[in-house]
Amino acid sequence: EVQLVESGGGLVQPGRSLRLSCTTSGFTFGDYAVSWVRQAPGKGLEWVGFIRSKAYGGTTDYAASVRGRFSISRDDSKSIAYLQMDSLKTEDTAVYYCTRDHNWNYGIDYWGQGTLVTVSS
Amino acid sequence: DIQMTQSPSSLSASVGDRVTITCQASQDIRNFLNWYQQKPGKAPKVLIYEASNLETGVPSRFSGSGSATDFTFTISSLQPEDIATYYCQQYDNPPYNFGQGTKLEIK
Protein backbone atom coordinates (compact mmCIF):
# COMPACT_ATOMS: atom_id res chain seq x y z
CA GLU A 1 0.00 0.00 0.00
CA VAL A 2 1.34 3.39 -1.01
CA GLN A 3 1.71 5.71 1.99
CA LEU A 4 3.03 9.22 2.45
CA VAL A 5 3.24 10.68 5.95
CA GLU A 6 4.13 14.30 6.59
CA SER A 7 5.72 15.47 9.83
CA GLY A 8 7.38 18.55 11.24
CA GLY A 9 4.50 20.98 11.19
CA GLY A 10 3.64 23.28 14.07
CA LEU A 11 3.63 26.86 15.28
CA VAL A 12 6.54 29.06 14.17
CA GLN A 13 7.23 32.78 14.37
CA PRO A 14 7.46 34.95 11.25
CA GLY A 15 10.97 35.02 9.82
CA ARG A 16 11.91 31.65 11.29
CA SER A 17 12.50 28.34 9.53
CA LEU A 18 10.83 24.95 9.56
CA ARG A 19 11.56 21.68 7.80
CA LEU A 20 8.82 19.26 6.84
CA SER A 21 9.49 15.60 6.14
CA CYS A 22 7.54 13.23 3.95
CA THR A 23 8.18 9.61 4.84
CA THR A 24 7.01 7.18 2.19
CA SER A 25 6.46 3.44 1.85
CA GLY A 26 4.82 0.91 -0.43
CA PHE A 27 6.55 1.93 -3.66
CA THR A 28 10.00 2.52 -5.14
CA PHE A 29 10.49 6.10 -4.00
CA GLY A 30 13.42 6.77 -6.32
CA ASP A 31 11.29 6.18 -9.42
CA TYR A 32 8.89 9.03 -8.69
CA ALA A 33 8.75 12.77 -8.39
CA VAL A 34 7.34 14.49 -5.32
CA SER A 35 5.18 17.59 -5.24
CA TRP A 36 4.28 19.68 -2.21
CA VAL A 37 0.84 21.31 -2.21
CA ARG A 38 -0.59 23.60 0.46
CA GLN A 39 -4.02 24.78 1.49
CA ALA A 40 -4.55 27.87 3.59
CA PRO A 41 -7.50 27.70 6.01
CA GLY A 42 -10.75 27.83 4.05
CA LYS A 43 -8.95 28.30 0.73
CA GLY A 44 -8.15 26.26 -2.36
CA LEU A 45 -5.14 24.16 -3.26
CA GLU A 46 -1.86 25.87 -4.09
CA TRP A 47 1.03 24.04 -5.76
CA VAL A 48 4.24 24.81 -3.85
CA GLY A 49 6.97 22.92 -5.69
CA PHE A 50 8.23 19.71 -7.21
CA ILE A 51 11.35 17.55 -7.30
CA ARG A 52 11.97 15.12 -10.12
CA SER A 53 13.50 11.71 -9.67
CA LYS A 54 17.25 11.27 -10.14
CA ALA A 55 16.62 9.69 -13.56
CA TYR A 56 15.15 13.04 -14.63
CA GLY A 57 17.94 15.06 -13.09
CA GLY A 58 16.49 15.48 -9.60
CA THR A 59 15.70 19.07 -10.55
CA THR A 60 13.21 21.29 -8.75
CA ASP A 61 10.61 23.92 -9.61
CA TYR A 62 8.79 26.28 -7.28
CA ALA A 63 5.80 28.56 -7.18
CA ALA A 64 6.71 32.23 -7.39
CA SER A 65 5.26 32.82 -3.91
CA VAL A 66 7.91 30.59 -2.29
CA ARG A 67 10.82 30.70 -4.72
CA GLY A 68 14.03 31.70 -2.93
CA ARG A 69 12.57 30.89 0.50
CA PHE A 70 11.54 27.22 0.19
CA SER A 71 13.61 24.31 -1.08
CA ILE A 72 12.75 20.68 -1.73
CA SER A 73 15.19 17.81 -1.41
CA ARG A 74 15.05 14.04 -1.32
CA ASP A 75 16.90 11.14 0.24
CA ASP A 76 16.20 8.11 -1.92
CA SER A 77 18.07 5.80 0.47
CA LYS A 78 15.50 6.63 3.18
CA SER A 79 12.48 7.16 0.88
CA ILE A 80 11.98 10.61 2.38
CA ALA A 81 11.35 14.01 0.81
CA TYR A 82 11.86 17.32 2.60
CA LEU A 83 10.45 20.81 2.35
CA GLN A 84 12.78 23.39 3.90
CA MET A 85 10.90 26.59 4.61
CA ASP A 86 12.91 29.71 5.46
CA SER A 87 11.91 33.32 6.10
CA LEU A 88 8.38 32.21 6.88
CA LYS A 89 5.52 34.67 6.53
CA THR A 90 2.06 34.68 8.09
CA GLU A 91 0.63 33.96 4.63
CA ASP A 92 2.49 30.63 4.60
CA THR A 93 0.04 29.34 7.22
CA ALA A 94 -1.55 26.27 5.66
CA VAL A 95 -1.90 22.52 5.67
CA TYR A 96 1.03 21.16 3.65
CA TYR A 97 0.52 18.00 1.65
CA CYS A 98 3.23 15.77 0.27
CA THR A 99 2.24 13.95 -2.91
CA ARG A 100 3.57 11.25 -5.16
CA ASP A 101 3.93 12.71 -8.61
CA HIS A 102 5.21 11.56 -11.95
CA ASN A 103 8.11 13.10 -13.78
CA TRP A 104 6.30 14.11 -16.95
CA ASN A 105 2.88 12.47 -17.15
CA TYR A 106 -0.04 11.22 -15.03
CA GLY A 107 0.35 14.00 -12.46
CA ILE A 108 -0.27 13.45 -8.75
CA ASP A 109 -1.72 10.07 -7.83
CA TYR A 110 -1.26 9.79 -4.05
CA TRP A 111 -1.50 12.33 -1.24
CA GLY A 112 -0.36 12.36 2.36
CA GLN A 113 -2.77 13.35 5.12
CA GLY A 114 -1.18 16.80 5.49
CA THR A 115 0.55 18.67 8.29
CA LEU A 116 -0.49 22.08 9.60
CA VAL A 117 2.02 24.92 9.65
CA THR A 118 0.98 28.04 11.54
CA VAL A 119 3.12 31.14 11.19
CA SER A 120 2.27 33.59 13.93
CA SER A 121 3.94 35.73 16.56
CA ASP B 1 2.67 30.92 -16.03
CA ILE B 2 -0.38 28.93 -17.09
CA GLN B 3 -3.58 30.11 -15.44
CA MET B 4 -6.43 27.67 -14.83
CA THR B 5 -9.95 29.12 -14.81
CA GLN B 6 -12.46 26.75 -13.26
CA SER B 7 -16.20 27.29 -13.22
CA PRO B 8 -18.56 27.46 -11.53
CA SER B 9 -17.08 28.20 -8.11
CA SER B 10 -20.08 26.58 -6.46
CA LEU B 11 -22.91 24.40 -7.63
CA SER B 12 -26.10 23.08 -6.07
CA ALA B 13 -27.73 20.03 -7.65
CA SER B 14 -30.17 17.25 -6.81
CA VAL B 15 -29.39 13.57 -6.38
CA GLY B 16 -29.49 11.97 -9.82
CA ASP B 17 -28.64 15.18 -11.69
CA ARG B 18 -25.93 15.40 -14.30
CA VAL B 19 -23.24 17.81 -13.11
CA THR B 20 -20.62 19.50 -15.29
CA ILE B 21 -17.58 21.54 -14.28
CA THR B 22 -15.29 23.26 -16.74
CA CYS B 23 -11.63 24.21 -16.60
CA GLN B 24 -9.92 26.48 -19.10
CA ALA B 25 -6.17 26.81 -19.44
CA SER B 26 -4.57 30.07 -20.54
CA GLN B 27 -2.46 28.16 -23.07
CA ASP B 28 -2.28 24.72 -24.66
CA ILE B 29 -1.57 22.06 -22.02
CA ARG B 30 -2.17 19.09 -24.33
CA ASN B 31 -3.97 16.55 -22.11
CA PHE B 32 -1.86 17.12 -18.98
CA LEU B 33 -4.75 17.80 -16.65
CA ASN B 34 -6.10 15.97 -13.60
CA TRP B 35 -9.32 16.28 -11.62
CA TYR B 36 -9.32 15.85 -7.83
CA GLN B 37 -12.06 15.47 -5.24
CA GLN B 38 -11.62 16.84 -1.73
CA LYS B 39 -14.04 16.11 1.09
CA PRO B 40 -14.02 18.33 4.21
CA GLY B 41 -11.05 17.67 6.46
CA LYS B 42 -9.54 15.15 4.06
CA ALA B 43 -6.70 15.10 1.56
CA PRO B 44 -7.65 15.37 -2.11
CA LYS B 45 -8.04 12.24 -4.18
CA VAL B 46 -7.42 11.89 -7.91
CA LEU B 47 -10.45 10.92 -9.98
CA ILE B 48 -9.33 11.61 -13.56
CA TYR B 49 -5.78 11.72 -14.94
CA GLU B 50 -4.55 12.93 -18.33
CA ALA B 51 -7.88 14.67 -18.93
CA SER B 52 -10.02 11.62 -19.60
CA ASN B 53 -8.65 8.53 -17.85
CA LEU B 54 -10.58 7.19 -14.88
CA GLU B 55 -8.35 6.37 -11.90
CA THR B 56 -8.59 2.76 -10.74
CA GLY B 57 -11.44 2.22 -8.32
CA VAL B 58 -13.27 5.44 -9.14
CA PRO B 59 -16.95 4.97 -10.02
CA SER B 60 -17.81 5.17 -13.70
CA ARG B 61 -20.29 8.01 -13.14
CA PHE B 62 -17.23 10.30 -13.11
CA SER B 63 -15.70 11.25 -16.45
CA GLY B 64 -13.45 13.84 -18.04
CA SER B 65 -12.92 15.16 -21.53
CA GLY B 66 -11.08 17.83 -23.46
CA SER B 67 -7.62 18.76 -24.66
CA ALA B 68 -5.48 21.81 -25.34
CA THR B 69 -7.23 24.60 -23.41
CA ASP B 70 -10.78 23.42 -22.67
CA PHE B 71 -11.68 20.61 -20.30
CA THR B 72 -14.86 19.24 -18.80
CA PHE B 73 -15.53 17.09 -15.74
CA THR B 74 -18.88 15.34 -15.48
CA ILE B 75 -20.78 13.37 -12.86
CA SER B 76 -23.47 11.54 -14.80
CA SER B 77 -25.80 10.93 -11.85
CA LEU B 78 -25.02 12.82 -8.65
CA GLN B 79 -24.89 10.74 -5.46
CA PRO B 80 -24.99 12.05 -1.87
CA GLU B 81 -21.40 10.90 -1.30
CA ASP B 82 -20.19 13.14 -4.15
CA ILE B 83 -20.57 16.24 -1.99
CA ALA B 84 -17.08 17.71 -2.05
CA THR B 85 -14.92 20.36 -3.65
CA TYR B 86 -13.44 19.52 -7.04
CA TYR B 87 -10.21 20.89 -8.49
CA CYS B 88 -8.48 20.71 -11.84
CA GLN B 89 -4.68 20.91 -12.12
CA GLN B 90 -2.39 21.26 -15.11
CA TYR B 91 1.03 19.62 -15.19
CA ASP B 92 2.24 20.50 -18.64
CA ASN B 93 4.59 23.28 -17.50
CA PRO B 94 5.53 24.41 -13.99
CA PRO B 95 4.14 26.02 -11.93
CA TYR B 96 1.55 23.24 -11.96
CA ASN B 97 -1.37 25.46 -11.04
CA PHE B 98 -4.75 24.35 -9.75
CA GLY B 99 -8.11 25.76 -10.66
CA GLN B 100 -9.93 27.73 -7.97
CA GLY B 101 -12.17 24.79 -7.07
CA THR B 102 -15.88 24.01 -7.37
CA LYS B 103 -17.85 23.39 -4.20
CA LEU B 104 -20.65 20.96 -4.93
CA GLU B 105 -23.71 20.85 -2.68
CA ILE B 106 -26.93 18.88 -2.65
CA LYS B 107 -30.08 20.87 -3.37
Mean pLDDT of B46-54: 97
Predicted confidence pLDDT, tens digits, chain A (121 residues) = 999 999 999 999 999 999 999 999 999 999 999 999 999 999 999 999 999 999 999 999 999 999 999 999 999 999 999 999 999 999 999 999 999 998 888 899 999 999 999 999 9
Mean pLDDT of B76-103: 97
Q: Which residues of A touch B (CB under 8 A)?
A: 35, 37, 44-47, 50, 61-64, 97, 101, 105-109, 111-114
Nearest CB neighbour to B98, from listed A47, A50, A113:
A47
Degrees to nearest 5, angle at CA A13 with B40 and A19: 70
Nearest CB neighbour to B34, from listed A50, A107, A114:
A107
C-beta neighbour count of B92 within 10 angstroms: 17
How big, in percent rounded to 5, are the helix, strand and coil portions of chain B?
5, 50, 50
